Structure 1
Amino acid sequence: MIFLENDFISISFHKETGSICSLIDKQKKIEYIPEKLSSVPFRVELEEETITDFHRFSYEADKERLGYKFVWELAPDLALKARVWIQDDSNEVSFDCELQNDSSKSIYTLEYPIIPNIGNITEQGEDDYLAHSFATGFLIHNPLKNFTSEWNGFRYMPYPEGFSGSTMQFFSYYGKGQGGLYFAAYDADSYTKWLNFYKNEQGFLEATFLDSCEDIGPHKGITVNYPIVIKTLEGHNWYEAADIYKDWAVNQYWCQKGELSKTDDKCDWLLDDVGLSTFGINAGADRAEWIEKYHEHIDTKMLHILGPDWTNKIQSFGMGIPGGYKDWFPTRFNEATLNAIRENGDKFAPFEFDYLFNLFGADGIKGKRALQEIPRDPSKSIDQYKFPFVCPADPYVQDLHVRRDETLQLESNVDSIYYDISANNIMKLCMDDSHGHTKGAGRQITQAYRENYINTKEAMSRAADGRYIPMGTEMINEVFLDVLDYYQTRAGGAPAAPLEGYNVRELLKKGEAELIPMFTYVYHEYGAVRLDGWGKIVEEIGDLFYFHVARTYLWGGLYELNYEYSPMEVINEKENSVDEHYYPFEARGYGFSQARAEYISKFAKLRTGAGNKYLAYGRMLKPFEFEVEKVNLNWFIYNCAKDHKEYNDTGELVVDSIIHSAWQYQDESIGLFFANVSDEAKTIQIKLDLASYFATDSVKVDRMTENEKVELLTMNPKDKQTVDVQIPAKGYILLEVN
């Protein structure tokens, strides 16, 4: 074997093949590859085949650092070169590589490094976890057990892709209290890649990084000029890896605007005034009565992302979409609905499929020429990308994107703009170089999306006499963080919600997977605002509603009421008609619940009131530990497409009865939030360990409820104090330390 090690970490490679065959945490004496099974060092995808064979492998010591240089000769005119190195005082291994192609063949992807045959860390994997940035963050319990032959896990996780892939460039696998591994790509330039962790054919876990060729063709290769790193962990929790990644990530271009609390380049009303969002209320029909009803019982300003039914030619779910510019105008917004929004001090955003195109509509020929060509056989994703997407780099598409929404601003005076199935949902590849990019493109596609967003936002602001026009999308990726102001996601309502996370839904229902605030933990103080929850104000959706509302707010988001695939609440014995909707839903007859509206209201007021500087602007901290009872809450989902298997699904979920989050506002204060989702008051004990947050000798701890604020105690932050905190049934407590 070829050994590379220091006092902290050891990695070994097969002398004949260069494949990784050992990875050891020397401090903890953990071998992460316990079985010495065969494996391949790389996978190279050519035009018609994927190859793992080579004619010759050689290596030499790297004279510039503690490491090796590897060379695999795949053919006389095709070679993979890699470097691997460690620092003397580091527990981190780094890789980079280059696939040199002097042949007439075209290279599509390179998968390297491959870390194969990873085993359990704890006994039978019972305390093992995978934390991945898929759909902003999921935690999978015991992946060696829960990844199966039917679903082998996260085999192809494209980046940057928020719906079906990776929103950030890291993941971790750890055994609680034992150890673990951190995997990351420190790519500051947004190249298309895949960050994969799955069960391989030999029944063990495998981690790989897969890179796309940005310029596909004969005599063209792939250069991975950024470090791919593997680092050992203590195994505390998923926050450990997130802290490591955050140290790097917040210094990249997508955080260039700085923290929201310190920049003027932001939407003040979205951050300060809005306490609730709605999504999918008809834009083209009178829904004023419902908006008024919400305001009777929910004391907050709202952001309404209206439904798609405002365009000249139909924009719907499955019954048609617009094509070119003439299909969009004139608009068909219902004036009664807009008046109700404005009279209540609310804001609205039109819903757009900005990159879907009707090839039989206006400018159909131009749209057809601009179609994004994404490889689909296979797609290397759980998504097959079957929508008629147009390429963001095509000049016609770039002009349409700006001109359409500038006109929309001038004609309808919108407060914001929202894009569905947009850049965050689409693989960043296009094989049609007639659009002005290279074949494959990758990073060029990402940059084109960014430029279109930026140019459109600027044009809308000019049309609004300089007013800031916030922009939102379905899902999020780190590469758009400085461009977007908010994003819609549904995972916070799961399993009573559809779409992203559907591949882990059965694990969620069994408690073997859970949503984690990974993206929020890394980026919250930089934006964007999360809209989540997939809610209705009806009793029929079950009591998990209370958990979802509280968690959405305590994790820094805005709760979302959603009306895309089902009717609104019955008000005055009236339900909105399917004939006026953009999706053929089934009538329900579920009545408006005043009690549930008032529950939302208390958290909305927390968001815009005492908790605002934390929940809108703060940096998320690791939660404080305390003992908490569990509670069983039932749920029911009917708000989804009728052909989805989760339609009319129901069940129970075991969750914590107390939801907790911790936040820091600049260097001034800390907010500890606790929400009780049960029907009984709960008392918990919290150990206040504040030494790492304050340099002073004395801090004050205030206890806030929705009705009062009292001083709880004064303490030296170096002295750990345990306090009893009583949290009312279906209520919250905020402990503020300053």
Structure 2
Amino acid sequence: MVGQAQGNDTGVLASDHLAVTFSPETGGIVSVRSLRSNHEFVRPAAKKPLLWRLVLRGRDRTEMVLDNTRVGPPEFESKIGSLALHWQGVELPGSAGTLTVRVTCELAREDDTARLRLWVQNDSSAFGLWDVQFPVIAPLVRSEESQIAMGRGSWGVLYANSGTRITGVYPSHSLPMQFALLQQGKNGLYLATHDPKALFKEFTFEPSCEFYVNTHAMDMGVTGSDWEAPYPFALGVYQGDWMTGCKRYRHWALEAAPWTRKGPLGKREDVPESLKNVCAWVIGNGATAEVVPAVELFAEAIGAPVGVHWYNWHKIPFDWEYPNYFPPKPGFAEGVLELKQRGIVVMPYINARLWDIATANFAEAKAHCVKDDQQEVTIERYGKSADLAPMCPTQPFWQNKVAEIIRRLGDECGVNAVYLDQIASAPPRLCFDANHGHPLGSGSWWVDGYRQMLDPIKKWATSDGRQMGLTTENNAEPYMDNLDGFLIWTPRSDQEIPMNSAVYSGYTLYFASNRAFEHGDVSYCLCQARDFVWGTQLGWDGTAIVEPQHKAKLAFLGRLARLRAAARDYLVCGELLEVLEPTNEVPNLSGTWNTPDGDGPVTLKAVHGALWRGLDGSAGVLLANADTDAHVFSFTIDTKRHGLGSSAEWVLRQVGAENQTRISSQDNGQVSHMVDVPGRDGLCLVLQAASSD
């Protein structure tokens, strides 16, 4: 019966779109089938299929691993649209007590996504939960056409079926968003934790074709600690490509995630217009006399709003003596004022996580830093850095210290933005200090603590006439309600896809298009062209870019930056709808980028294109040509699929030009066009239904 579990002996729950089958012997998932395409995602069925795996730890730090294949068959309870599996009185070894485990799966008749939840009642006086792995699904089908999409690094990566281990830690640069996609042709499997609390977790695809989500328990190792189904796991099927899967996650994030509650950028008055308008960034490093003249040259060459990310404005060495940034180097405030008078965003660096344990004032900070399960201070080192202690973000002492630094930068130095390093890059730390008042080990308290820190800072930064932007490193999603921009500076590759823009375009800012500066003009321009149409604020190389030998790089960067300014309604306030593939032959260009595996070759099309929806509902086609020669780029847009309206005729105009072109649409709503893209330049084409012209 569609929409109802098929009985205790089969464990099938099905809708009009999806059927999920659980083993009567172990309760593990033996089938995930798309009913519309009759495509199976679990094959061949395991002899002892898994569903959950629990890691428990005793007072003496003894670990025990338990999974559903070792505890006997579950009891099934079926209702219309739901199925429950119960494991009652699971005995732990050595008379250490019992566990009761319950799993529910909900799937409405019209839905294509099942929602799974797990509860663990722990009646043990000897063991506490440490890690919860749920769901565990194996084996997921792998074939030559299989691809895995994960939002790792700067943009997201589309992995081929390489048989290697793929894992990401959330929330951090290695997994900024809590979902992954398995693509097999046009058959897609959506794997997501719809967790508004952003708990500390990992997504992993093993070479054995096992997939699981590992979430660290709250009150880790505390005897008798339970697991209360803090979020549903969404298991869905769809027809389409990775963009289709990304839009499914976008729908959830915009509807239910607290980090999008302030609305889109176009309506947010707490994000400074000066930061929204930045089109290119440059890194400044050191004293005012070196930084200011070079930044002014950069701004003049770009000819559009720019920002400087100013490092080493302080007297202390980089990665030493944090957080004692004051006093600044002489002339810093005067340099800030001079640049601001030219309309430049001046954004100094601070670290918002770390304290140098060798500083004299660490004695007062020690009680508030992260402690491991032996109550020792956690230490991090970066190259030849000092020994640095991550601070616990729940502690008012640290919250107030970060606020004090930012206020001084605003009041004493006059900056109009501050960069808070590592917040959205480094994963949460486990903290076991019972005096901090948060659950031991893990929990939502890490993200909650930063929100408690940043809420008042954000309010101060954009009140009483102040318009100070706040940014951070990398792009973990749960911080975007208080941090306006994310520095996506990590290595690039030609296997990337713009998953972050697909989900959060129009809701946050990404900046940087570095990683190719040292490898010649072609390599550099390839990176700028691709990243431009994907929506980032460009640049973030050093002031060497204003030197004569980099004239071609700077000229191309300036052209794209000026085009970004003209296309603001799309690239800042709009939504990325599609990466456009040319329907004609466009030549490839090859270059060298700094990739996750070190400097290596990349090969991409000379012309890059993307389709964006604008503030007024129109479509914007963004094109950028990295080659010195002009190239024709032909494309087709499915106006119905993208919700752009219905019209027999469409008007196409080029931003910056007066002429218009009228295009007839096909019966299926597709609109096709070809355009000549000048060498080392870009275009923005606006498409609107003729009836709304």
Q: TM-score, normalising length from structure 1? A: 0.82
Per the TM alignment, residue 535 of structure 1 is displaced from its structure 2 partner at its CA by: 5.7
Q: Distance in 2 between matches of 1:728 and 1:411?
A: 47
What's the counterpart of residue 628 of structure 2? 679
Deviation per CA, 1:236-292, whole angstroms, max 9, x where unpaired? 2101111212221101221111122233232111223x2211235325652233223
Work out whether 1:354 is the aligned partner of 2:345: no
Work out whether 1:158 is the aligned partner of 2:169: yes
Report 1:614-625 matches (<5 A): 614-625=570-581
Q: Distance in 2 between matches of 1:570 and 1:265?
A: 33
Per the TM alignment, residue 334 of structure 1 is displaced from its structure 2 partner at its CA by: 3.8
What's the counterpart of residue 432 of structure 1? 433
What's the counterpart of residue 724 of structure 1? 674
Change (3 A) 1:417 1:721: closer
CA contact (8 A) 1:541 1:636 kept: no
Q: Distance in 1 between matches of 2:484 and 2:671?
A: 39
Per the TM alignment, residue 66 of structure 1 is displaced from its structure 2 partner at its CA by: 3.2
Change (3 A) 1:687 1:542: closer
What's the counterpart of residue 500 of structure 1? none
Structure 1: give runs of 5+ residues left out of the alignment: 377-382, 495-507, 572-590
Any idea what SS the aligned residue of 2:357 has? coil
What's the counterpart of residue 644 of structure 2? 693
Q: Distance in 1 between matches of 2:545 and 2:570?
A: 32
Work out whether 1:70 is the aligned partner of 2:86: yes
Change (3 A) 1:645 1:96: closer
Change (3 A) 1:44 1:557: same
Q: Distance in 1 between matches of 2:106 and 2:155?
A: 29
Change (3 A) 1:191 1:18: same
Report 1:577-656 matches (<5 A): 592-609=549-566, 611-627=567-583, 628-635=585-592, 646=598, 649=599, 651-656=600-605
Work out whether 1:548 is the aligned partner of 2:527: yes
Work out whether 1:109 is the aligned partner of 2:113: no
CA contact (8 A) 2:563 2:683 kept: no
Change (3 A) 1:547 1:271: same
Any idea what SS the aligned residue of 2:225 has? coil
Please say which of residues 292-301 and 411-420 is displaced more in the overlay.
Answer: 292-301
Given candidates 351, 355, 364, the residue that maps to 1:366 is: 364
Any idea what SS the aligned residue of 1:135 has? coil
Per the TM alignment, residue 395 of structure 1 is displaced from its structure 2 partner at its CA by: 2.5
What's the counterpart of residue 401 of structure 1? 402
What's the counterpart of residue 43 of structure 1? 53
Per the TM alignment, residue 39 of structure 1 is displaced from its structure 2 partner at its CA by: 4.3
CA contact (8 A) 2:511 2:536 kept: yes
Change (3 A) 1:481 1:59: same
CA contact (8 A) 2:181 2:245 kept: yes
CA contact (8 A) 1:694 1:717 kept: no
Q: Distance in 2 between matches of 1:13 and 1:536?
A: 49
Q: Distance in 1 between matches of 2:637 and 2:446?
A: 48
CA contact (8 A) 1:542 1:636 kept: no
What's the counterpart of residue 35 of structure 2? 26
CA contact (8 A) 1:170 1:183 kept: yes
CA contact (8 A) 1:697 1:716 kept: yes
Q: Distance in 2 between matches of 1:397 and 1:537?
A: 37
Change (3 A) 1:286 1:340: farther
Work out whether 1:316 is the aligned partner of 2:313: no
Any idea what SS the aligned residue of 1:439 has? coil
Given candidates 327, 330, 337, the residue that maps to 2:327 is: 330
Per the TM alignment, residue 340 of structure 1 is displaced from its structure 2 partner at its CA by: 5.0
CA contact (8 A) 1:193 1:210 kept: yes
What's the counterpart of residue 421 of structure 1? 422
Per the TM alignment, residue 711 of structure 1 is displaced from its structure 2 partner at its CA by: 0.9
What's the counterpart of residue 131 of structure 1? 149
Q: TM-score, normalising length from structure 2? A: 0.87
Q: Distance in 2 between matches of 1:250 and 1:645?
A: 34
Q: Distance in 2 between matches of 1:89 and 1:55?
A: 34
What's the counterpart of residue 498 of structure 1? none
Any idea what SS the aligned residue of 2:206 has? strand
Q: Distance in 2 between matches of 1:694 and 1:570?
A: 45
Q: Matched residue pairs, number? A: 652
RMSD: 2.9
Work out whether 1:84 is the aligned partner of 2:87: no
Change (3 A) 1:310 1:30: same
CA contact (8 A) 1:291 1:340 kept: no
Q: Distance in 1 between matches of 2:517 and 2:179?
A: 37
Any idea what SS the aligned residue of 2:544 has? coil
Change (3 A) 1:645 1:729: closer
Change (3 A) 1:681 1:287: same
Q: Distance in 2 between matches of 1:428 and 1:62?
A: 40
Q: Distance in 1 between matches of 2:411 and 2:337?
A: 17
Structure 2: give runs of 5+ residues left out of the alignment: 1-8, 375-380, 689-693
CA contact (8 A) 1:371 1:390 kept: yes
Q: Distance in 1 between matches of 2:686 and 2:605?
A: 22
CA contact (8 A) 2:516 2:527 kept: no
Per the TM alignment, residue 343 of structure 1 is displaced from its structure 2 partner at its CA by: 4.5
What's the counterpart of residue 505 of structure 1? none
Please say which of residues 709-718 and 130-139 is displaced more in the overlay.
Answer: 709-718
Deviation per CA, 1:100-138, whole angstroms, max 9, x where unpaired? 112122211111110111122xxxx33221111223542
Any idea what SS the aligned residue of 1:515 has? coil
Q: Distance in 1 between matches of 2:373 and 2:549?
A: 46
Change (3 A) 1:533 1:623: closer
CA contact (8 A) 2:169 2:427 kept: no
Q: Distance in 2 between matches of 1:41 and 1:533?
A: 41
Report 1:209-288 matches (<5 A): 209-216=213-220, 217-234=222-239, 236-252=240-256, 253-272=258-277, 274-283=278-287, 286-288=290-292
Any idea what SS the aligned residue of 1:357 has? strand
Per the TM alignment, residue 446 of structure 1 is displaced from its structure 2 partner at its CA by: 0.7
What's the counterpart of residue 74 of structure 2? 58
